[in-house]
Amino acid sequence: MEGAEEEVQCPVCLRELPGADINSHLDRCLQAGDAEAEPGSSPPSKRPRLAAAPPGTQAQGEPEEARPAAASPRVFSLFHKGRGGGQSPGAAGGRSGAGREEAAVKPEKGGSATAAAGGGASLAQKLEGQPLAERLRPDTLGDYVGQERVLGAQTLLRSLLESHEIPSLILWGPPGCGKTTLAHIIANSSKKNGTRFVTLSATSAKTNDVRDVISQAQNEKRLFKRKTILFIDEIHRFNKSQQDTFLPHVECGTVTLIGATTENPSFQVNAALLSRCRVIVLEKLSVEAMEAILMRAVRSLGVQVLGQGDQHGSSATGSSSESSEFPVYIEEKALNTLAYLCDGDARTGLNGLQLAVQARLAAGKTTPLNTTKGGSADGILITEEHVKEGLQRSHILYDRAGEEHYNCISALHKSMRGSDENASLYWLARMLEGGEDPLYVARRLVRFASEDIGLADPLALTQAVAAYQGCHFIGMPECEVILAQCVVYFARAPKSIEVYRAYSNVKECLRMHTGPLPPVPLHLRNAPTRLMKNLGYGKGYKYNPMYKEPVEQDYLPEELKGTDFFKERKT
C-alpha cells in the first residue's frame, strides 16, 4: 500500500511491528522479561518450551497486551545463535543450550562441582591455574611458618610489623625461605592500615618505572599524608646507578623500601643504600617447618595421610571423597622425604607435591587399601617414589655466581687445611655436582699448594698444576676423579705457611713504610752501558759462584739491614 509505514522486527520477541510502535513495545517486552526472572516465576525447565514458539504462530491481529507473559518467546536470537548447531530458537538445540547454561550455573549456587564434573575433578581443579606455592601463600603473621629467630614472639621485627611501624628492609635469604611471602603479609597489613603498597620486580622494571612510583608516592604524601611502601623483588638485579635512584627518597621517608635478594647484599647492594636499610637474614627452612607447610597443603587439598603404623589414617581434615570418585591418600613417609629433599625451599617442596598429585590423578590408578574398620577400599595412593619422581632431583642448592659459591670453596679450603680428607671430598662433590666449573676448583688448588703446603711438600704444586692440565684436557665428568685425587693428596700432605707468612710480612713492610722507598744499592744494580758503569752501577758486587766460601754481602737496602721476614712479626 502506498504510504504504508515500514515494519520493524522486535529483537526480543521477533515480531514485526510498525516503526512508530517499536519503542513502547520494547519497554513492555523488557518489563515482562524482568517479571519472569523474579522469584516465583515459572521453573527454568519451561524456558526452552516458551522460547520455542516461532514468531509466526501468533494469530493475526491479536494484540500484544492480550498475550500471556509466559507465552512471549523472549529470546535474543543473537545470543542463541549457534547453540543448537544453527537451528532456530524453537528447535531442540535451543533447549539443549539452555540446559547447558543451567548446568553451568548449578555448581556455583550449590557449592559442589561434583554434579558437573567426573571423579577427581574438584581436586584437579584445585591444582590447576596458580602453582600450589602461590595459592597457599599465607596472609598473616600467625600463618607464617619458620624463621623463628627473626619473626618469633617478642622479636624486634615482629613487634614493628604488628605495630605497623615498618622500616626500610633488605630481606636476604636462599630461594623459597619466605622473603616474598613476608612482603605479601606486610602488603596485606599495610593496606588495612591505609598505607599504599607497590610491588616491582627488578627483572622487568626499568628506572622510569621506579621514578613513576616515587612521583606518585610524593603526591600521596603531600596531598593525603599517605605512606608508600615499595617492594623490589630480586633487588640485586638493579645495577648501582639504578639503586642510587632510591637514595634520597628512602633518606627523606618518601618511600619505605623493602628489597628481597638471594645474593649477599654486601656485594650486590650499594653501601649507601645498605646503610639506610636494615638487613634481615632469613635462613633456609628447617625440616620441621617444611613438614608443617606440606601438611597444611595436604589438608587444603583434602588429601588424607597414611601413617607409618596404620594403613589408613585420616590425619588430614576433610575428605577427598567429596571431590573424586576414589579418595586420594599420601604416605606420611612421602611427606617426610619431600621435606628433606627440598633442602629448605618451600616453593620446591610444594611444587613437587603438586606434580606428584597431578601425575597420580592423571594416571587414575587405584590401590586396594585396608581400612581401620577391617574392610577394604580403593583409593589413589601417593608413595615416596612418586614424590621423588615429582621432585626429579635431590635439589642441591648451589649458585655458581652467588653466596653459596664462596661458602663451598671456603669450606673445601678449610677442610684440606685441617687434613680432613672426608670433608674435603664432600665439599668438592657438592660443588661439582652443583655445576661448578672444574677449572675454577683447579685454580684454587694451585693457590692452596703454595699457600698452605708450601715447602713442606714442594711436589704439591706440581700435583696442582697437573690436575689443572688434566681438567683442561678432558673436562667433566671424567676430570672429577683427577680433582678428587689432588684434594685427598693435599688433605694428607704436611702443611707449612712459612712462605705465605714471610711474603705477607714483606707486603706489610712496604705498606707501613713512610716516605720514599729506599733505592736499590749500587752494587746490586745492572750496568749494561758504559755510563752506568761510570756512575758506579754494579761496583763491588761479588759473583757468588766464583767463591768456594760463603760470601759476605748485603742485599737489602741500608734501612732494612738485618730484617728477617720469616720471623713472626708482632702485630
**Secondary structure (H, E, C), 140-171:** CHHHCCCCHHHHCCCCHHHHHHHCCCCCCEEE
Same domain, 382 and 416: no
pLDDT at 12: 77
Q: Rounded distance, CA 255 to CA 269, Å?
A: 18
pLDDT at 33: 64
Same domain, 179 and 319: no
pLDDT of residue 192 exceeding 60: yes
Same domain, 223 and 150: yes
pLDDT at 76: 43
Give me the domain span that covers residue 304. Answer: 287-393
ω into residue 248 within 30 of 0, thus cis? no
pLDDT at 89: 38
What band does 120 get if pLDDT is binned at 50, 70 and 90? very low
Tell me the pLDDT tens digit for each residue of 135-176: 888 888 888 888 888 888 888 888 888 888 888 999 998 888
Same domain, 268 and 300: no
pLDDT of residue 502 exceeding 60: yes
CA-wise closest residue to 14 among 55, 67, 68, 59: 55
56 located within any domain = no
Average pLDDT of the segment spanning 164-189: 88
Query: Residue 481 CB: number of other CB atoms within 10 A?
Result: 10
Tell me the pLDDT tens digit for each residue of 533-559: 888 888 888 888 888 888 888 889 888
More confident residue, 537 or 364: 537
Tell me the pLDDT tens digit for each residue of 261-313: 988 888 888 888 888 898 989 988 888 999 999 999 888 888 888 775 555 44
More confident residue, 480 or 121: 480
What band does 257 get if pLDDT is binned at 50, 70 and 90? very high
Q: Where does residue 220 rank: exposed (0-12), middle (13-18), buried (19+ CB within 10 A)? A: middle
CA-wise closest residue to 427 among 418, 415, 435: 415
Number of domains in the chain: 3
507 located within any domain = no
What band does 55 get if pLDDT is binned at 50, 70 and 90? very low
Helices (H), 58-131: 77-80, 92-110, 121-127
CATH number at residue 427: 1.20.272.10
pLDDT at 267: 82
Tell me the pLDDT tens digit for each residue of 416-470: 999 999 999 999 998 888 888 899 999 999 999 999 999 999 999 999 999 999 9
Inter-helix orientation angle 459-474/438-448, to 10° = 170
Same domain, 293 and 385: yes
Number of H helices, E strands in the chain: 25, 11
pLDDT of residue 507 exceeding 70: yes
Same domain, 364 and 487: no
Helix %, strand %, coil % of the chain (to 5)? 55, 10, 40
Tell me the whole-structure pTM to 2 decimals: 0.54
What band does 528 get if pLDDT is binned at 50, 70 and 90? confident
- Write down the mean pLDDT value for the chain: 77
Same domain, 379 and 236: no
Helices (H), 193-270: 207-224, 240-244, 247-252, 265-268
42 located within any domain = no
Would strands 278-281 and 256-261 be described as parallel, antiparallel, or unpaired?
Answer: unpaired
Least confident range of 76-85, 204-213, 359-368 = 76-85
CA-wise closest residue to 453 among 504, 445, 439, 508: 445
- Helix, strand or coil, per DSSP, at residue 379: strand
What band does 35 get if pLDDT is binned at 50, 70 and 90? low
- Cell readout for 310 is 596404620
Q: Rounded distance, CA 485 to CA 166, Å?
A: 53
Q: Rounded distance, CA 256 to CA 193, Å?
A: 15
Listed in order, strand segments (DSSP E) in 335-425 are: 367-370, 376-382
- Cell readout for 309 is 603404623
